[in-house]
Structure 1
Amino acid sequence: MEETRSRWVKISLIVSVLLLVVKFYAYLITGSTAILTDALESIVNVVAAGFASYSIYLSSRPKDDNHPYGHGKIEFFSAGLEGALIIIAGLFIIYQSVYNLFFPQELDNLLEGILLIAGSGVVNGALGYTLRKKGEETNSITLIANGKHLLTDTFTSLLLVFGVVILFVTKIQALDSIIAIGFSAYIVYSGYGLVRKSVAGLMDEADPEALEATVKVINQHRKDTWIDVHNMRVQQYGGDRHIDLHLTLPYYLDLKQVHDEVEELENVLELDWPGVVEVFVHADPCIPEKCCHYCQIKNCSVRKFEMNTKIDWTSINMSKNQKHYHDQVK
């Protein structure tokens, strides 16, 4: 899996460098600020791909004494850097576009520039789609971020081509700066999205998708002896997933039986995830006076109250730091 990540991020770097040359050539022969927006974003692609290559390498290293939770968070730095560079490039282009409104430059060879940008956009689109798909398969936020960025770049490139075609037909030179400003605003917005996601990961913000996936697999393998699961926390760093939870078991189980139940739950969670999974389970004994009402164990010899309900396990009640008998309190 790590080899797949590394291979595709290197391909992304090579392609980004080649497209950077093509787009700057298109800018040099046309003098179009709108085309410059695409060229500058390609610089971001190259820098981001280079940093992504390093982050993929670092995140694949095993945990050590200084990094007991592994190195997966480096991928959040990669996505954040990419977003920050996108924002800087977008703001620079806005400045350049406003300047060109007052001091317009002569535009040449627009048709050739259009063809070069269109071809670059198609290549970026194919690569971006592949990177996002491989990122989802390998649970790599870096590949996903890089893929989404390239797909965004493709979308803006194709719209840019449309705008430059209008400029080519109408000969209204001011359209060059207006188009560039519009695309720059979109670029800044997309960069903000990457930075926002990066900060969320570094701050250990709750990951709804990872939590829902964990809840789903536990429900699929739910056992009657697992009376309830609560205080569950799920964090994902790159391809690593960390899960903490409390598992309520019958109080009369001996230590070996408790260990076997905990191990079974851990195996269920580990086998469901293609990457590295670290599971910490805290076992709690049931409280007959409070748990019997929803305990699903049939013919329980120590039952004190009749079972009268079954509590659905959801991401909401499994995340609470309390046993599920609280759900019975009206």
Structure 2
Amino acid sequence: MQVSQNSKFRWIIVSLSLSIILMAIKFTAYYLTRSNAILSDALESIINVIASSFAFYSIYLSSQPKDKDHPYGHGKIEYFSSGFEGALIIIAGVWIAIEAVQHLLHPQPIQHLDWGLWLILLTVLLNGVVGYYLQKVGKSTRSEALIADGKHLMTDSLSSVLILIGLGLLILTGLQWIDSAASLVLSLVIFYNGFMLIRGSAAALMDQTDPELMESIVNILKNHKRDYWIDVHNMRIQKYGSDLHIDCHLTLPYYWDLRQVHEAVHEFEEALEKDAGGYVEFFIHVDPCLPECCKYCRLADCPVRAKAFKRDIDWSIHNLSKNQKHFVEPD
């Protein structure tokens, strides 16, 4: 089942459109209030527009079919998009911190805070709702670009909440320096979230194991397990955007002919592809069973059984990833 690109395009267009609208709202709020904290939020919204534009391009490119230069497809561009977005966020955080320090040293009067607060509150609600749905759709379609953009919008929403708190304290106390202090705290939050996006992008580009994805694949195997799937080991999963590449070793009865082996491998692949969602490419290496495998083999009519069945091997993300057959320890 091919993951639909329509929902990915639809939501990234929503994100890009929202980023442009909110940027205009935030700069309007700054024009009315002359608040440094609001200016910091407005400047960060420029990053949102650039990041959403790049995410849109990455989703378009990841949807392109495989070619001779990219035999695994173009899906990994989404991880690069996530890292690029993180780098932009860090740049924005540094920029905002510099501005905050300058305004602490040279404070400026703030005005029309009532209008500014209402406009920023509107951006909090819009960013929060769209950011939530971007992450939800991103997880269902395995789109790192959508997930990263959703996290960015959620971070932006949190940043605006910090600004609202800072401006609220300013109204209550009349202390002008609170505005710049809120901006400085905001820069630290932005910097941290940018760093986490870059870290996640680097991990994905280096094919770091995704425990949640691995767990879901293992559960699919356990739910569809056949008696002649004697053992599975050395399982590895690579993500290429929405596509998956799965390779593993599958142990089958050593006396089977090539036709039986082919049908069993096809059934194994079909079970995974049906429930994994999206396009899945496989590389299955078949191992012949050994006498030691009899202790956990449930094949009832096996003509060459050397030992009695003792117990099942509990397949998990830990033992399926090991590059060795599983054995039942002697009593």
**What residue number does 2:318 align with?**
316
Q: 1:58-137, aligned counterparts within 5 Å?
A: 58-137=61-140
Number of equivalences: 328
The letter for the 2-side match of 1:152 is T
SS in 2 for 1:316: coil
Deviations along 1:280-323, one digit per CA (max 9) or x if unpaired, are 111110112x2112212113210111222221111111100011
2:144 aligned with 1:141, yes or no?
A: yes
Q: CA deviation at 1:274?
A: 2.3
Q: CA deviation at 1:200?
A: 0.4
**What residue number does 1:291 align with?**
293
Q: 1:6 to 1:329 in 2, by over 3 A?
A: farther
Q: CA deviation at 1:159?
A: 2.7
Deviations along 1:155-192, one digit per CA (max 9) or x if unpaired, are 22123112212112321011111111111111111111
State the distance in 2 between where 1:171 and 1:103 align: 16
Give 1:236's match in structure 2, choosing from 239, 246, 257.
239
TM-score, normalisation: structure 2: 0.96
CA RMSD, aligned part only?
Answer: 1.3
The letter for the 1-side match of 2:307 is F
State the distance in 2 between where 1:279 and 1:209 align: 19
Q: CA deviation at 1:137?
A: 2.4
State the distance in 1 between where 2:310 and 2:21 align: 67
Deviations along 1:233-273, one digit per CA (max 9) or x if unpaired, are 01222211110000000001100000000000000111112
State the distance in 2 between where 1:178 and 1:266 align: 56
After the TM superposition, list the runs of 4 or more consecutive aligned residues in structure 1 that deviate by more than 2 angstroms.
327-330
**What residue number does 2:187 align with?**
184
Give 1:26's match in structure 2, choosing from 22, 29, 32.
29
The letter for the 2-side match of 1:261 is A
TM-score, normalisation: structure 1: 0.96
State the distance in 2 between where 1:329 and 1:206 align: 32
Q: CA deviation at 1:74?
A: 0.4
**What residue number does 1:279 align with?**
282
- Tell me, yes or no, if the aligned pair for 2:217 and 2:276 is still in contact at 8 Å: no
Q: CA deviation at 1:51?
A: 0.3
State the distance in 1 between where 2:330 and 2:194 align: 46
2:207 aligned with 1:204, yes or no?
A: yes
- Tell me, yes or no, if the aligned pair for 2:100 and 2:183 is still in contact at 8 Å: yes
Deviations along 1:133-163, one digit per CA (max 9) or x if unpaired, are 2212222111111112112211221231122
- Tell me, yes or no, if the aligned pair for 1:111 and 1:168 is still in contact at 8 Å: no
State the distance in 2 between where 1:295 and 1:274 align: 29
State the distance in 1 between where 2:307 and 2:129 align: 62
**What residue number does 1:9 align with?**
12
- Tell me, yes or no, if the aligned pair for 2:162 and 2:182 is still in contact at 8 Å: no
2:41 aligned with 1:38, yes or no?
A: yes
Give 1:218's match in structure 2, choosing from 199, 217, 221.
221
Deviations along 1:59-105, one digit per CA (max 9) or x if unpaired, are 01111111111111000011111111111101111111111111111
Structure 2: state its 5+ residue gaps. none
- Tell me, yes or no, if the aligned pair for 2:235 and 2:320 is still in contact at 8 Å: yes
**What residue number does 2:259 align with?**
256
Q: 1:105 to 1:329 in 2, by over 3 A?
A: farther
The letter for the 2-side match of 1:94 is A
**What residue number does 1:173 align with?**
176
